């Protein structure tokens, strides 16, 4: 099946067609039936390997991944970053700067940082200063 085609038949499992790997200590989900066309770094105030493991075992619904599994089925490769808490001015570092290595080495310039909650602080600032080339959604 082409990555752009969406199979309307209900899958036997919510995890069908998804391969799991680890890059820079981060869980990466990829489609099994095609070459990924774009990469996405998914960031939220909860997430990462813990949420992914709960989804796999069935104790947490797939909706907690905010559409990431659908993106994988559409041909994207999605990295599930570990949770980022709210920004606290008294402790500004490292906050979301700890994702900078993954964002600059794994993501390419035309790839996406997808934030499911308003937890990013430094990444949008770096983007505004034109020091980070990735799109932020």
Q: Would 74 be classed as within a structural domain?
A: yes
pLDDT at 111: 96
Q: Would 2 be classed as within a structural domain?
A: no
Distances (CA, A) of 10 to 7, 15, 16, 121: 8, 11, 10, 38
Q: How many domains does the chain have?
A: 1
The lowest-confidence range among 19-23, 41-45, 68-72, 118-122 is: 118-122
Q: Would 130 be classed as within a structural domain?
A: yes
Q: Would 37 be classed as within a structural domain?
A: yes
> Domain range holding 70?
18-136
Q: Would 9 be classed as within a structural domain?
A: no
pLDDT reading at 4 higher than 70: no
DSSP assignment of 45-82: SS-HHHHHHHHHHTSS-GGGGTTHHHHHHTTEEEEEPP
Count CA atoms within 13 Å of residue 36 on its CB side. 21
* pLDDT tens string 15-51: 889 999 999 899 999 999 999 989 999 999 888 999 9
């Amino acid at each position: 099946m082409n990555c752009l085609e969406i199979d309307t038949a209900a899958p036997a499992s919510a995890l069908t067609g998804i391969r799991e790997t680890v890059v820079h200590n981060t869980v990466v989900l990829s489609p099994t039936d095609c070459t990924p066309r774009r990469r996405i770094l998914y960031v939220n105030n909860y997430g990462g390997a813990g949420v992914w493991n709960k989804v796999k075992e069935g104790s947490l619904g797939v909706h907690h991944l905010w559409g990431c599994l659908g993106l994988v089925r559409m041909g994207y490769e999605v990295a599930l970053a570990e949770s980022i808490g709210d920004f606290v001015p008294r402790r500004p570092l490292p906050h979301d700067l700890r994702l900078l290595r993954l964002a600059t080495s794994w993501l390419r310039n035309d790839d996406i940082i997808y934030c499911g909650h308003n937890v990013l602080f430094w990444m949008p600032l770096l983007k505004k200063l034109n020091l980070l080339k990735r799109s932020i959604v």
